[in-house]
Amino acid sequence: MLEAARTPRLNIYTYSDVEDVSGFVGNFKVKVRKNARYVNNDCNGCGSCFDVCPAYGYDEFNEGMNPRKAIYLSFAQAVPSMAQIDMNRCIKCGLCQKVCEVNAIDFNQEEEVIELEVGSIIVATGWDEYKPETGYLGYNKYQNVITQMKLERILAPNGPTMGHLVRPSDGKTPKKILFIQCVGSRDLNKQTYCSAGVCCMISIKNTKLIKQHYPDADITVAYMDIRAAGKDYEEYFTASRKEGIKYVRTNVSKLYEAPETGNLKVILQNTLSSTGLKEFEYDLVVLSCAMVPAIGVEKIGKILKLENSRDGFFKEFHSRLNPIDTKIPGIVLAGVAQGPKSISESISQGRAAASSLARLMSKDKYRILLIRATVDKDKCAKCGLCELNCPYDAIALNPDGAEVNEILCRGCGSCLANCPSEAITLRYYREPQYETQIDAILEEI
């Protein structure tokens, strides 16, 4: 990100939202709303204002494990390194203004809408961690049941515990730890898909990391099956087992807390043995939750007129032959916007997206086949069925009849099949042609 911020002619709009997109390939018009930070560009991120601020808020980056000030930096490596003010928490005491040596605090700052003209768009929305409902496997019910994201922040050197593994209830170092895989994924009642094996590899990585720092830790991973399908992934999994980490193929039957100790009692069965159900006690339980579409994906989809797959991620033009492009020419997908992916897969798709658009934008003209729908407005009944059934949002119903956007239209013929007035035809394809071909076939029979 630092390198990107230093790149000439690369403009980064952080803390901003895309409000509207219009136009077509080579000529998109984008409206971006820059939210008010209440801090101007003179801010150098020195942090003097943080020290004097008396108001506190919820720290999203650290999963709420510690508070943050009302004026804060999103996270240590944020680009740009500028403070922002949470007006829901700010008490407007003015102390930050008094200590700011560069006069960067501006309580009168307002939102700003910027209009951009771009030739192409890459959609890279990322992902969010699935949040189980309260009580499911003790989540949000017992303090010592946490998710992988919270564990990541605990183990991070710049996290709330400075990298020391402690459990939330009492700050003690847990001795027995259970990881539960596939929480919210591969489940007919939740997400049916697998998160591309990412959850498995994160668990293997974190178990090894804990074992390196706490050799006496007793770590168990409860799994359906481990998916380590990547270069050197299986070897990494094997190394984990050699370090004494136990992997038990099981489904957790019940989980409850022992109130006097805060420990978690878990009833499970090793499905690879005939020992039956057994109860085990753990100091800490870590839930490996599914990757789900990022918050705001639905809004972005409506703005860009993109479709979603059944899993909620954006739908590509073809799942096997063209996982980069969307149905809208000039708009491509990168990373987890298209579906769950590992870091290496996201990098590969990001480069593919950049390459695809670089090839497109390097040409002076965008060539299309003229096999497009055309409307005879004298016949059009203005029923709107064509607009409703067009998978590419290429038809708009106007007062004088339906109108086809020839850039968006792909000549699929859905509108032709649904038009009760027979007002729509495909250019270069006429019904008499088909009728003549059918007659010729029947004559031969």
Q: What is the mean pLDDT of residues 276-293?
A: 94
Q: Is the pLDDT at 97 greater than 90, yes or no?
A: yes
Residues 138 and 85 in one domain: no
Domain that holds residue 339: 294-361
Of 361, 382, 400, at which residue does a domain stop?
A: 361
Can you give the CATH number for the domain in which 440 is found?
A: 3.30.70.20
CA dihedral 146, 148, 153, 154 (to 10 degrees): 50
Assess contact for 139 and 146: CB atoms under 8 A.
Answer: no
Assess contact for 154 and 174: CB atoms under 8 A.
Answer: no
In sequence order, the 6+-apart residues with CB closer than 8 A to the CB of 248 are: 220, 221, 222, 223, 268, 270
CB neighbours of residue 364 within 10 Å: 5
Query: Is 253 a member of any domain?
Result: yes
Average pLDDT, the chain: 92
Q: What is the mean pLDDT of residues 84-111?
A: 95
pLDDT in tens, 366-376: 888 888 999 99
Residues 313 and 281 in one domain: no
Residues 79 and 180 in one domain: no
What's the DSSP call for residue 336?
Answer: G
Query: Is 123 a member of any domain?
Result: no
| 3 state SS for 346-361 | HHHHHHHHHHHHHHHH
Query: Is 368 a member of any domain?
Result: no
Residues 173 and 258 in one domain: yes
> Residue 199, SS3?
helix
In sequence order, the 6+-apart residues with CB closer than 8 A to the CB of 251 are: 222, 224, 268, 269, 271
Can you give the CATH number for the domain in which 171 is found?
A: 3.50.50.60
Of 244, 274, 292, at which residue does a domain stop?
A: 292
Q: Is the pLDDT at 297 greater than 90, yes or no?
A: yes
Say what the pLDDT of residue 3 is: 87
pLDDT in tens, 194-210: 999 999 999 999 999 99
Residues 10 and 78 in one domain: yes
Query: 72-79: which pairs have CB atoms within 8 A and are 24 or more residues apart?
Result: 73/45, 73/47, 76/158, 77/1, 78/14, 79/1, 79/2, 79/4, 79/5, 79/12, 79/14
Query: Is 366 a member of any domain?
Result: no
CB neighbours of residue 347 within 10 Å: 13
Query: Is 270 a member of any domain?
Result: yes
Assess contact for 121 and 304: CB atoms under 8 A.
Answer: yes
Assess contact for 269 and 250: CB atoms under 8 A.
Answer: yes
Query: Is 41 a member of any domain?
Result: yes
| Domain total in the chain | 4
What DSSP letter does each residue of 153-191 carry, written as one string? HHHSTTSTTTT----TTT-PPPSEEEEEEEETSS-TTS-
pLDDT in tens, 221-243: 999 999 998 899 999 999 999 99
Q: Is the pLDDT at 445 greater than 70, yes or no?
A: no
Distance in angstroms (rounded) separating the CA atoms of residues 193 and 182: 10
Q: Is the pLDDT at 193 greater than 90, yes or no?
A: yes
Residues 285 and 406 in one domain: no
Residues 143 and 283 in one domain: yes
What is the C-alpha R_g of the chain?
Answer: 28
Local confidence band at 392 (pLDDT 50, 70, 90 cut-offs): confident
At 115, list the tokens: 């209009």
Q: How many CA atoms lie within 13 A of 163 on its CB side?
A: 7
Query: Is 427 a member of any domain?
Result: yes
Of 292, 321, 338, at which residue does a domain stop?
A: 292
